[in-house]
Amino acid sequence: MARSAPASRAEVVFVDGVRTPFGRAGEKGQYWGTRADDLIVKAMIGLLERNPKLPKERVDDVAIAATTQTGDQGLTIGRTSAILAGLPITVPGYAVDRMCAGAMTTVTTIGAAIGFGQYDIGIAGGVEHMGHHPMGEGADPNPRFLAEKLVDPAALNMGITAENLHDRFPELTKERSDRFGLRSQQRVQAAYEAGKIQPDLIPVAIRSQEGWGLATEDEGRRPETTMEGLAGLKTPFRPHGRVTAGNASPLTDGATVSLLASADAAEELGLGVKMRMVSFGFAGVAPEVMGIGPIPSTEKALRTAGLSIDDIGLFELNEAFAVQVLSFLDHFGIDDEDPRVNPWGGAIALGHPLAASGVRLMIQLARQFEEHPEVRYGLTAMCVGLGQGGSVIWENPHYTGKKK
């Protein structure tokens, strides 16, 4: 039956999201013997199994992000992973690269297509196997970037961009960054002990020299972390610097995937609704201080939504570096220990598999919405390599307007 031309904007809903456990990148990591495309396929299969009411042929498109699109992350991974996950051959797919905001961009792109009335249902996610594909592997930056001073040389090293934030904002001290990193570890561990994170993890069969096993938990957690231990860590990006392994996200492998739909399609098929998309924004900043990117992207998303920062009741901010989150909090007048911000911890403890992380933020926000019916709006936001920021504002379908 032919679809009539869309008469008005459709409401976009986040039906569900899942992810693999995140593993530490490298030979000692749990996914060293696992292909990147198998990670995203496993996550996609898990998503489809959790939503049996969804007729697979109703999926209009599959968008999967990867930052290094080569090898087992190449070959238009949105299309190949859709086929491998058992979707009908009639379901198309494509790949996206916006570095750290890859999965966030797949969500906003699929969401925009739904909102415009062209799609009813889409799958969006991301994968990054940093053990197989280190960031920047095989890249050949145009010499004009540096020769014509289009970007500062520091822009090509994310750790240096974080050190630059410490330089630019002296109030963003190493002690504050370390304390934020410690709090991330503590909050993630508390969330694990309360069983809040595990329900959205899809176990992955893994193979090592010892044989076959099962990845069921995030590998990067360090609950034994102390301020004393953090104070003694090396500063790999600059002698006597302030960025360390304790206040930055580790190199990580993992995959995330989400199911988006129009509100009408979700109702028709009896699918659940965990969040409603309100607005999104992407913005550019000087690449050498890319960590401030979420500030203008959030201002753009707020402006589009007709909201202010005071309307946001929950924040899921990607912890690429603690200093980056702190710069965001200072700009908007939010306390370092505000309980609305990353209440279950973040990437410093869980890891940041680049293009996958955006949907991880959304998965956690959706769960927190269930626990907080007094909160109407939440924000997922992240900095992006080469000087960008990305932000998405979501509405809580469980909102009652009543204080807990």
CB distance 314 to 322 below 8 Å: no
Q: What are phi and psi of 166, to 5 degrees?
A: -60, -40
**Helix 102-115 / helix 357-371 crossing angle, nearest 10 deg:** 70
CB distance 82 to 123 below 8 Å: yes
Choose the catalytic residue: 129, 166, 352, 372.
352
Give Rg (Cα) of the chain.
20
CB distance 104 to 352 below 8 Å: no
CB distance 162 to 181 below 8 Å: no
Q: Where are the alpha helices (DSSP H) in 17-141?
A: 36-50, 77-84, 102-115
- 352 catalytic? Reply is yes
Choose the catalytic residue: 100, 129, 132, 133.
100
| CA distance linking residue 356 with residue 346, whole number of Å | 13
The DSSP H or E segment spanning 228 is helix 227-231
* Nearest one of 68, 124, 135, 55 to 94, comparing CA atoms: 124
Catalytic residues: 100, 352, 383
